Structure 1
């Protein structure tokens, strides 16, 4: 409810007072947990599947992690999780009553289960139809689609122009491995810029309009 003394919402203070303050706080927490070395960057990349450039932005407080990465940090980082719990239990939070706590938690569990089921079904459909997701593909280091590299920009332009290109064309023209070429294409798909349509043998990549 709005305060009776005025018509404006209360002003947020502290770490939630602005994006810059949040970015600086997250940067301080991540450096406290991982240090400020290249190894720290690699650790955070492995934890969140973010790109190196994105992690560097977090550590330098250029911006805070977006929603997806922040949730991944909450799951994988004890320091970030403790920070969030501190916010939830802090004086600015609106605590749940004992009567409403149980149904809210139950609804949250149901929503989480539904999300996991939807993701599993979508991932299965993509794996079965896309030839770049074969059994010899190693998805461990798939990039998070945050920053497109030069090869990805080139490949996307070719697809937009109507060319029937795939990972082998990236390999031949850019002289990279098949794994790297497939990783580039996967990054474009995760970014929502590219889809594979048709059968495994006769299908093709198409741009998302």
Structure 2
């Protein structure tokens, strides 16, 4: 028998619950979230519900389709695979855009507050 080398991937339950947390954070846990997962992956309703509950995780083609649509699922999967540098490269650009929008909104609010009232 060969000795085990390298890093281990999380067990099935950790994988399923990790993706469930990511999907619930992005989509919520309503029936609409189930419908969205079904539309994204062509999975059946029971399968999508199991993913959201964390009972089981997507495999193969479903996982590929899921990460195609969900940044949260992709980030969760890459973190489980200990590919944090890839997570940073994929999330930082969108975080930067969100921060720029927030700064613009703050600047807009401040300009309204600091403008003198007309006499």
**TM-score class, shorter:** 0.5 to 0.7
Cα separation, partners in 2 of 1:70 and 1:55, compared to 1, 3 Å: same
| Counterpart check, 1:38 vs 2:31 | yes
Q: So what's the TM-score if we normalise by structure 2? A: 0.60
Q: Distance in 2 between matches of 1:41 and 1:49?
A: 11
Cα separation, partners in 2 of 1:44 and 1:64, compared to 1, 3 Å: same
Is the partner of 1:62 in helix, strand or coil? coil
Q: How does 1:1-209 map to 2 (within 5 A)?
A: 8-10=3-5, 12=7, 16-86=9-79, 87=81, 89-90=83-84
Indicate the structure with greater helix content: 2
Cα separation, partners in 2 of 1:18 and 1:25, compared to 1, 3 Å: same
Is the partner of 2:43 in helix, strand or coil? coil
Q: How many residues were matched structurally?
A: 83
Structure 1 unaligned regions, length at least 5: 1-6, 92-209
Is the partner of 1:27 in helix, strand or coil? helix
Q: Distance in 2 between matches of 1:49 and 1:41?
A: 11
The Cα RMSD (Å) is 2.2
Q: Which has the higher contact order (CA 8 A, sep 6+)?
A: 2
Whichever of the two has the greater Rg, that structure is 1
Q: Distance in 2 between matches of 1:88 and 1:25?
A: 13
Q: So what's the TM-score if we normalise by structure 1? A: 0.36
Q: Report the alpha carbon displacement of residue 76 of structure 1 after superposing the two structures with TM.
A: 1.0
Structure 2 unaligned regions, length at least 5: 86-119
